[in-house]
Chain A
C-alpha cells in the first residue's frame, strides 16, 4: 500500500509539470501590461520599461518560465505586483483558512449527504424519501452565493447567531461551509440513495437477513460500505467545483481565504499571485484525487489485494 502511494505521488510530478506550463502560458495570454500596472497610470514610458526589464518581462517566455520554476523549487512563488510582498507570505494565513473551510464543507456534506441518502433509501417512496430528495434537488439547484446571502440574512442579520464574515473562530466558518458544501451534500445524498438501494437488493443482504442480523446492522455494516464506492468517486470529482465555489462563497462572506484573494488578484492582474494560486489549486485537486483512490481501494478489497 505504501509503495502504491509513493508511486502515485511520483506520478504527480509530470502532471504538475504540464499543468504549470499551461498555467504559465495562459496567464501570459491575458491582455494587459503588468509593468504598467506596477508603475501606475502616471509613470513615464522609461519608468515602465525599467520596471519591465527588472521583472524580466523582456526575456523570452521559456526563460521566464524556467526562472519561475527555479523559484518554486526553492519555495519562492514570486512577489505580488500589487502589494510588493512575497506571494508565500500572502498565502500563509489564507491558505490554512481555505483548507479549514474546504474540509468543513466536505465533512458536513458527507455526514448529511450520507445520512439523508440512507434515510431516503430505507424509506423508499415514503415521506422521508420525498423530503430528503426535495432537499437534495434544492441543494443542487440553488447557487451557493444565493444560499450564502439567505443564510446571512437569517442567521446573522435576523437571529444574530453567527457572524456575517471573517475567519476568527469556528462560528465564522459555519455559514460559508454550509453554503459551499450544499451542492456536494445534495449530490452525495442522491448517489448514496441510489447506490444503497442497489446494494440492498444484493444476495449478500439476503444472506445477512437469513443469519438473523438486525436491519440496522445490515444497513450500517453490510450495505453502506458497499454503497460508498461510487459516492467516494463523485465526491472526489466534485472537489474541483468546491475549489471554484470557494471563490464565490469567500467573496460573499468576505472570508480571508484563497478564493477571495484570487478574485482580488484577477481584478488587479496580479499575475504572480494568480499563477501561484492556480498551481496550488491543481496540487490540491490532484492530492484529493489521490486520497480518493486510496479510500477507494480501502473500500474495495478486490482492488487492494490486487495492487498489494
Chain B
C-alpha cells in the first residue's frame, strides 16, 4: 500500500480557442500524501485552478482538455486509478464522494433558488444512499460540525439569507458530507474578510485532522500556507518550479521566484521597509518565452536560462527545484 493518495505526473492541459490550441499546463508534477495538507501557490494566472479542475475533470462548458500525463488516485487500499482515462460515469461517482471541492466564491457557489438543506442532502443521498430523512439528519449534523448555529433552521433557509462566511461553512459541510479522502480547496477564503478567513481556515484544519483527510489547498497567500500546510508546491506559468516542506521553503527558498514571493510578503516589525515585488508579469500562454519561463523576470538569470528549460532536481529533505542555478555544471560554465 502506498502512502500517496494522489500523484500528478506530467499533466498537460490545453484550451482550444478557434481551432487553435493554447497549452496552459506544461507538465505539472506533484503528489499528495495521505493525511497531508499540500499548498499550491503561485501568481494569478499560473494555472492553479486549472490544475484542480483537471484533477476533478470539471471541464464541461469549457474547451479545456487534458492532452497528456496521468493523475493517479488511490481509490482504496488495493486499487489505484488514473483519473485521466476512467470513463466519465466513474469519474462522476468519485466527485463529491472521494474527491470533494470547495471554491473561491461562496456568494455564487450555492444555488440561489434552492434551500440549503436541499443542496446539502443531494450528495448525501447520491453517494451514501441515504433516504430523505436520514440525509437530513446527517446534513444538520454536518452543519453543526462546521459551526453553524441553529443548524435545524438554516437548513430551511436560502443562500441569500446567510453571510459569506456562513455560506463558505455550508460549502465545507457539503464537501465533507460524504467523508472524502481528498479535499481540494481553491482559494476558499480569498473572498472573505480577515477574521472570518482565520475562522474558516481553523475549521478546515481541524476537520482535516479529525478525519485524517488529505487536502490540496490552493492559495496565493503565503501566510495561509505557513499556517495550514505541511508541504508546498510553487507553480509558475503552468509548471511546478519548486516543491518543499513549509519549513524548508520559508527558511531556505531555492528558486529565485520563490524567493521573490517570500520577499513580497509584508512582515510585522519592518513595516517601514519598502515591500519588494517581482518585476514584470506572468507570461501569457500564447507567448511563452524560450528556456526557463521565469528567466525574463529573474534577477539571477544566466544565458543558459534563456535557451533551455532547466530539469527538475531533487535535493536533500525531499525537496525539488527546477532552476539552472542548482545545476553545478551549468553554474561552472556560466561563472
B158 A204 Cβ-Cβ under 8 A? no
Rounded to whole Å, the gap between the CB of A217 and the closest CB of chain B is 8
Asked if A305 meets B58 with Cβ closer than 8 Å, knowing A207-B109, A212-B97, A212-B123, the reply is: no
Task: List B contacts of A7 (CB < 8 A).
Answer: none
B61 A201 Cβ-Cβ under 8 A? yes
Asked if A222 meets B111 with Cβ closer than 8 Å, knowing A209-B60, A212-B97, the reply is: yes
The number of A-B residue pairs with CB atoms under 8 Å apart is 77
Partner of A209, one of B95, B110, B160: B95
Bound-complex Cα distance A105 to B52 (A): 48
Shortest Cβ distance from A202 into B: residue:
B108
Q: Which of B15-23, B98-106, B196-204, B229-237 contacts A (4 or more CB under 8 A)?
A: B98-106
Partner of B105, one of A203, A210, A225: A203
Q: Which of A82-90, A280-288, A294-302 contacts B (4 or more CB under 8 A)?
A: A294-302
Bound-complex Cα distance A301 to B156 (A): 12
A212 B112 Cβ-Cβ under 8 A? no
Bound-complex Cα distance A212 to B57 (A): 11
A302 B158 Cβ-Cβ under 8 A? yes
Bound-complex Cα distance A209 to B123 (A): 10
Asked if A211 meets B122 with Cβ closer than 8 Å, knowing A203-B105, A305-B158, the reply is: yes
B158 A211 Cβ-Cβ under 8 A? no
Rounded to whole Å, the gap between the CB of A36 and the closest CB of chain B is 60
**B164 contacts A by Cβ under 8 Å:** no
Asked if A210 meets B101 with Cβ closer than 8 Å, knowing A201-B61, A203-B108, the reply is: yes
Contact with A along B171-193 (1 / 0, CB 8 A): 10010000000000000000000
Task: List B contacts of A211 (CB < 8 A).
Answer: 95-96, 100, 122-123, 126, 174
Shortest Cβ distance from A302 into B: residue:
B160
Contact with B along A40-82 (1 / 0, CB 8 A): 0000000000000000000000000000000000000000000
Task: List B contacts of A215 (CB < 8 A).
Answer: 60
A207 B110 Cβ-Cβ under 8 A? yes
Task: List B contacts of A221 (CB < 8 A).
Answer: 114
**Which B residues lie at the A interface, using CB under 8 A?**
56, 58, 60-61, 92-97, 100-101, 103, 105, 108-114, 122-123, 126-127, 158, 160-161, 171, 174
Asked if A208 meets B113 with Cβ closer than 8 Å, knowing A213-B126, A305-B161, the reply is: no
**A135 contacts B by Cβ under 8 Å:** no
Q: When A and B form their complex, which 8 residue pairs have the shortest distance between CB atoms, in order from nearest?
A: A212-B96, A211-B96, A212-B95, A203-B108, A210-B101, A301-B158, A211-B123, A204-B111
Bound-complex Cα distance A200 to B62 (A): 11
**A126 contacts B by Cβ under 8 Å:** no
**A8 contacts B by Cβ under 8 Å:** no
Q: Beyond A203-B109, A204-B110: 4 further Cβ-contacts under 8 Å?
A: A206-B58, A211-B100, A211-B174, A212-B97
A301 B160 Cβ-Cβ under 8 A? yes
Task: List B contacts of A300 (CB < 8 A).
Answer: 112-113
Partner of B58, one of A200, A201, A210, A301: A210
**A194 contacts B by Cβ under 8 Å:** no
**A226 contacts B by Cβ under 8 Å:** yes
Bound-complex Cα distance A164 to B40 (A): 71
Rounded to whole Å, the gap between the CB of B318 and the closest CB of chain A is 31
Asked if A302 meets B126 with Cβ closer than 8 Å, knowing A212-B92, A212-B94, A212-B95, the reply is: no
Rounded to whole Å, the gap between the CB of B235 and the closest CB of chain A is 21
Task: List A contacts of B114 (CB < 8 A).
Answer: 221-222, 225
Shortest Cβ distance from A200 into B: residue:
B61
Bound-complex Cα distance A239 to B92 (A): 42
Rounded to whole Å, the gap between the CB of A200 and the closest CB of chain B is 6
Task: List A contacts of B58 (CB < 8 A).
Answer: 206, 209-210
Shortest Cβ distance from B108 into A: residue:
A203
Residue among A210, A214, A215, A226 facing the most chain B CB atoms (10 A cut-off): A210
Bound-complex Cα distance A213 to B58 (A): 12
Bound-complex Cα distance A200 to B93 (A): 21
Rounded to whole Å, the gap between the CB of B50 and the closest CB of chain A is 13
Rounded to whole Å, the gap between the CB of A132 and the closest CB of chain B is 19
What are 22 A-B pairs at a CB distance below 8 A?
A: A200-B61, A202-B108, A204-B108, A204-B110, A204-B111, A207-B111, A210-B56, A210-B58, A210-B95, A211-B123, A212-B95, A212-B97, A212-B123, A212-B127, A213-B123, A222-B114, A225-B113, A226-B111, A300-B113, A301-B158, A302-B112, A302-B160
A206 B122 Cβ-Cβ under 8 A? no
